[in-house]
Amino acid sequence: MFDYQAPSQLLKNKIILVTGAGDGIGKTAAITYAKHGATVILLGRTTKKLEAVYDLIEELKFPQAAIVPLNLDGAAEHDYSELANTIQNEFGRLDGILHNASLLGQRTSLATYDPVLFEQVMRVNVTSQLLINQALLPLLQKAEQSSIIFTSSGAGRQAKANWGAYAISKFATEGMMQLFSSELEKESPNVRANAINPGATRTNMRAAAFPDEDPQTLPTSEDIMPVYLYLMGKDSLTINGQSIDAQ
Ligand code: NDP
């Protein structure tokens, strides 16, 4: 596991957007960021799940969260500019984004892959990250130091048969992270971009991808949080353009 012990108030007064915050790793990351002092903006497509995370954060007496219900499949430019306006009006800046939401898509060969699903996976896993960054960059630039974290995968480092659009989307995510990090280095040195490869983690997506696996043999989302904290907080200020394994 990535070795990092975060100070308890590492993210005090930080404003952090987490996509796919209603379930799995995104839910745990949102709660963990709140636990370390951040105000988290919970973005996802299932409002009920976001509300449950919101309530949990309130129950635990962490800083009050905000909810943005948004389906990244079909979200249009005006949805992203509305998101930017809301964050601008509420907070005036943004200290971090965790791009975490993803679709698994089909586990089948490219030769037989459903082209409609292919585009859907690419929209949710890739294009939405571009549009979110484009809309929110001015807010990230207003923060003293800000961090963009993309979510990669082993499937985006070495192609394996039948991982389809998901694998291609993760290769693209690694590329987008590298492009943003090198462009920002020149234009906005206070904004850094990195990626995390969570590794096999006990979530619904993992269970869908590996139905025969015993989930109890896998690390939990909580287990992999050290690198999520490290890359979001001030101890990683000099880290830019890296893709880091959580495990
Ligand atoms: P989950 O399926 O548990 O969670 C994915 C989250 O993304 C859910 O909250 C889901 O919302 C949200 N989401 C999916 N589609 C959309 C959409 N169209 N609009 C908005 N939100 C959406 O997956 P994990 O927690 O396992 O995965 C988190 C990240 O980690 C992903 O990027 C994944 O690729 C990556 N990863 C995971 C690994 C693992 O072993 N778990 C290994 C390697 C990488 P809803 O709950 O409403 O469906």
Catalytic residues, which ones? Answer: 166
* CA nearest to 152, candidates 33, 22, 246, 30: 246
pLDDT at site 16: 99
Residue 105 bridge partners (DSSP): none
- Separation CA 17–CA 224 (nearest Å): 19
117-158 confidence digits (pLDDT tens) = 999 999 999 999 999 999 999 999 999 999 999 999 999 999
pLDDT at site 227: 98
Ligand 1 pocket test, candidate residues 19, 71, 128, 203, most atoms within 8 A of CB: 203
pLDDT at site 112: 98
Separation of CA 186 and ligand 1 centre (Å): 32
What's the complex ipTM?
Answer: 0.99
Separation of CA 105 and ligand 1 centre (Å): 11
19-37 confidence digits (pLDDT tens) = 999 999 999 999 999 999 9
pLDDT at site 97: 99
194-241 confidence digits (pLDDT tens) = 999 999 999 999 999 999 999 999 999 999 999 999 999 999 999 999
pLDDT at site 79: 97
pLDDT at site 180: 98
47-99 confidence digits (pLDDT tens) = 999 999 999 999 999 999 999 999 999 999 999 999 999 999 999 999 999 99
Q: Which atom of ligand 1 is nearest to the CA of 152?
A: 44
pLDDT, mean over the chain:
98
pLDDT at site 55: 98
Assess whether the C-beta atom of 173 lies below 6 angstroms from ligand 1.
Answer: no
Instruction: Enumerate domains of the chain plus CATH numbers.
Output: 15-245 (3.40.50.720)
98-119 confidence digits (pLDDT tens) = 999 999 999 999 999 999 999 9
pLDDT at site 136: 98
Extended strands (E) in 167-212: 191-197
pLDDT at site 127: 98
Assess whether the C-beta atom of 203 lies below 6 angstroms from ligand 1.
Answer: yes
Confidence tier at 174 by pLDDT (50, 70, 90): very high
Pairing of strands 191-197, 66-69: unpaired
| Start-to-end Cα distance in the chain | 4
Residue with tokens 């995370």: 53
Assess whether the C-beta atom of 147 lies below 6 angstroms from ligand 1.
Answer: no
Sheet containing 96-98, strands listed edge to edge, beginning at the edge strand earlier in sequence: 66-69, 39-44, 15-19, 96-98, 146-151, 191-197, 243-245
